[in-house]
Structures are given as structure tokens and as C-alpha cells.
Amino acid sequence: MKHLLSIEALSAQDITDMVNLGVELKKHRNQTPKVLDGQVWALIFNKSSTRTRVSFEVGIRELGGDVIFLSGADSQIGRGEPVKDTARVLGRMVHGAVIRTYAQSDVEEFAEFSKLPTINALTDEEHPCQILADLQLMKERLGGWKGKKVCFLGDGDCNVAKSWMWAAARLGFELTIGAPKEFQPPQTFMDKLGVDNVKLFDDPSQAVDGADVVYTDVWVSMGKEEESAGRIQTMQPYQINPGLMQHAAPGAIVMHCLPAYRGKEITAEVLEEHAEVIFSEAENRLHAQKAVILWMLGHTSLLG
């Protein structure tokens, strides 16, 4: 049984298969195979969501299935029931699970005890679905990632940045992380990553230099709200603005996993200039989620 628990756990072929399938599904949305006909999937979300929830609900229905949504307040997990107990119950009732929560270990434990195909829809460690949608956007707009440079600016130790680093490790493209020293991943993580095509910079212009993709995320992730004032002040030099974009490659695209806070991690001017790309990136969440599910069920194309 396949799961999507992290980018780290995937091979280059796995990633490429899902991205290619996402591209295919987007081109032929009206041909989505009803592989989930008669199935009910559970969405278990302990963190708020717009794009992730909508894309999975629509995607599962387009694949022929039905969805039951459980927030932390709706389930006994919110009252302290062990994840493995909830998993063993749902494993007898539903056909798959999509989990958005805090601890990576919770998603892994759920997959182990539920015996269901399980998708990590975001944890504090990784956001694999987002990166698959982002890579799909790179394939559509830049022809792929081979020979390209991606620059991530802001909190270099957040879940999105870590998933980008694992993607670079698996696929071999150049990735720079532009972040204050205190918001860079620890050396233990870099040692585990074990590659030389991912580099850390505390100088944002040096990080952006020659980048084909300039990427950012919110500076205050869910669960970090008490650090808001300090984070915003420290990361101000890493804002994507017209001046910083002058260091990027000609024709560089800007990406943002949203929601965007104009005037903080990105200026309104830059966001609106690149809005078509950014909202196409958001649209890709739908096609990427469907591709993940098809891949988990053994499909690598609409015909396979």
C-alpha cells in the first residue's frame, strides 16, 4: 500500500510520475477516471485550510468518491484520544485518509495503524502536496526543473522549505535558501539531506542571484503566532520586492503557496505582477491532489 507522507520518502521517479500525471489531469479534467467510485475518504484537519481542503474535497469527488470532514473539534482526537485508536476505528469505516496536523509522527502513526492509504496534507515537518503542485507549475511554465535554480526566501526551517530541500535532493536542481541565520535549518538536517545542490545564505540578494524561481511563504506559520512581531522584523530584508527581483534571472517567475500577506513577505506590486502564475500554482493543488491519489492506487497516467 502506498502513502504520501513526505517528499523525503519519495524517489525521483515517484515525484516525476505524480507531476506528469498532474499535468495530464489538468489538460483533461473532464476525463478524470472514477477510481474512487463507492469509496468514502476522511479529511482530518487539526489546522485551518482553504486550498488544501477545497482541492481535496473537489478532487476526491471528481475521482468518484465521497468525503467526510473532521476538524479537531469534531473528533475525539481533539479531546486526547490517541491517534492510533482513531486510526484503528476509521480503518474499519472509510477507504482513505487525508491528514493536516502538527506532528509528522501523527500522520505516520495513523498510516501504520489504520492500514489505509494516507496523505500528509501538511505537518510541521513537511508539506509534500504543495511542492508537487509547485513542481507541476515549473514543468508547465519553465519546461521542468533540470538546470533551473529555485530560491526560497523567509523561514528556511519551515515545512515548505524542508519539502523543497528534499525535492532538490531527489531531483538535482539548484536550490538556495535565503533566511536569517536563526531561521535556517540546523546542521543536523543539512547533514541528513546530504547534498551539495542546496545552499544556505543570509544575504537575500546573494540567494536570489540568477534564480529562475523566487519563492516565499508566510513568515509566521500556524502555531508560531506568539513570535509574530520578532519574525516580521527579522525577516524584513527577505521580502520579495522589485529591488530584490532585479537580482533574479531575466524572466524569473515568483511563486507563493498562499495565503499572502502583502507588505510582509511580498509586496502588493510584485504579487499582482505575478498573480497569474501564483494563482495557477494554487489551481494546481487540485490536479496534484488527484495525481497523488491515482499514484497511490497504482496509476501513472489517465490510461494506466
Residue 50 labeled ligand binder: yes
Residue 257 labeled ligand binder: yes
d(CA 187, CA 14): 27
Residue 151 labeled ligand binder: no
285 is catalytic: yes
274 is catalytic: no
100 is catalytic: yes
Residue 221 labeled ligand binder: yes
Residue 16 labeled ligand binder: no
- The closest of 195, 192, 204, 209 to 155, measured between CA atoms, is 204
d(CA 137, CA 23): 9
Catalytic entry in 3, 53, 100, 231: 100
Residue 158 labeled ligand binder: no
Residue 138 labeled ligand binder: no
Residue 228 labeled ligand binder: no
Residue 267 labeled ligand binder: no
Residue 203 labeled ligand binder: no
130 is catalytic: yes
Residue 250 labeled ligand binder: no
* Residue 153 near residue 215, CB atoms below 8 Å: yes
Catalytic entry in 130, 136, 184, 239: 130
* Residue 121 near residue 129, CB atoms below 8 Å: yes
29 is catalytic: no
* Residue 185 near residue 157, CB atoms below 8 Å: yes
Catalytic entry in 134, 155, 212, 217: 217
d(CA 183, CA 49): 24
Q: Which residues pair with 302 in a beta bridge?
A: none
Conformational region of residue 223, where left means phi above 0, alpha means psi within -120 to 50, and beta covers everything else: left
**Radius of gyration for the alpha carbons in the chain, expressed in angstroms and rounded:** 19
Catalytic entry in 158, 257, 274, 287: 257
Catalytic entry in 3, 53, 127, 274: 127
Residue 6 labeled ligand binder: no
- What phi, psi does 123 have (nearest 5°)? -135, 180
- The closest of 214, 282, 275, 215 to 250, measured between CA atoms, is 214
* Three cell numbers, residue 245: 527581483
Residue 88 labeled ligand binder: no
Binding residues for L-ornithine: 159, 217, 221-222
Binding residues for carbamoyl phosphate: 49-52, 76, 100, 127-130, 257-258, 285
Binding residues: 49-52, 76, 100, 127-130, 159, 217, 221-222, 257-258, 285
Residues serving a catalytic function are: 100, 127, 130, 217, 257, 285
